[in-house]
């Protein structure tokens, strides 16, 4: 499994609201990139077709997600940050060791997020507990994908 480095990028632009008025908004997006520089370039490339007018990348920070569970369902339009605690037994001392990790789940609501998290974790050998599930303000997530017609340079 490939390791992903996720960056949360905040885009600031003037959005036309439902009442027709313009309002300055800052929206967070998640981008899979190798560096801050690449994250900025990728978010600009991804966002440009969707925003008419000027926008700025207001902030970029690392986001620590070990796994992503996307969903194709139309209703699943939100992203939930789920904190999992894995429980392992220390063979020598016999003590329980807890390790926490964060995963991102795309779902319609909280109940759906827990269901999709459990589905995504099926087949996991380690025991885990769901410590928390919270809706994120993320507008969209852009995983890294190699275009089928892109041939890697040799």
Flag whether 74 is in a domain: yes
Same domain, yes or no, for 73 and 128?
Answer: yes
90 within 8 A of 100, measured Cβ to Cβ: no
Flag whether pLDDT at 148 surpasses 70.
no
Query: What confidence tens digit (pLDDT) does each residue in 72-104 have?
Result: 999 999 999 999 999 888 888 888 889 999 999
- Cα dist. 32→19, 27, 138 in Å? 34, 17, 14
Query: What confidence tens digit (pLDDT) does each residue in 14-55 have?
Result: 998 899 999 999 999 999 999 999 999 999 999 999 998 899
Positive or negative: CA dihedral 32, 36, 40, 45: negative
Q: How many CB atoms lie within 10 A of CB 123?
A: 5
Same domain, yes or no, for 25 and 91?
Answer: no
**Considering 35, 63, 91, which residue would you say is the last residue of a domain?**
63
Flag whether 154 is in a domain: no
């Amino acid at each position: 499994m490939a390791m992903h480095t996720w960056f949360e990028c905040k885009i600031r632009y003037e959005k036309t609201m439902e009442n027709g008025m313009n309002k300055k908004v800052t929206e967070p997006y998640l981008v899979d990139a190798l560096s801050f520089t690449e994250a900025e370039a990728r978010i600009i490339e991804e966002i440009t077709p969707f925003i008419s007018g000027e926008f700025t990348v207001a902030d970029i920070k690392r986001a620590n997600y070990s796994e992503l569970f996307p969903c194709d369902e139309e209703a699943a339009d939100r992203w939930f940050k789920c904190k999992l605690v894995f429980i392992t037994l220390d063979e020598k001392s016999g003590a329980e060791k807890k390790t926490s990790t964060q995963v991102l789940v795309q779902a319609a609501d909280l109940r759906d997020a827990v269901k999709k998290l459990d589905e995504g974790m099926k087949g996991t050998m380690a025991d885990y507990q769901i410590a928390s599930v919270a809706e994120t303000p993320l507008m969209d997530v852009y995983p890294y994908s190699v275009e089928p017609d892109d041939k890697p340079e040799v």
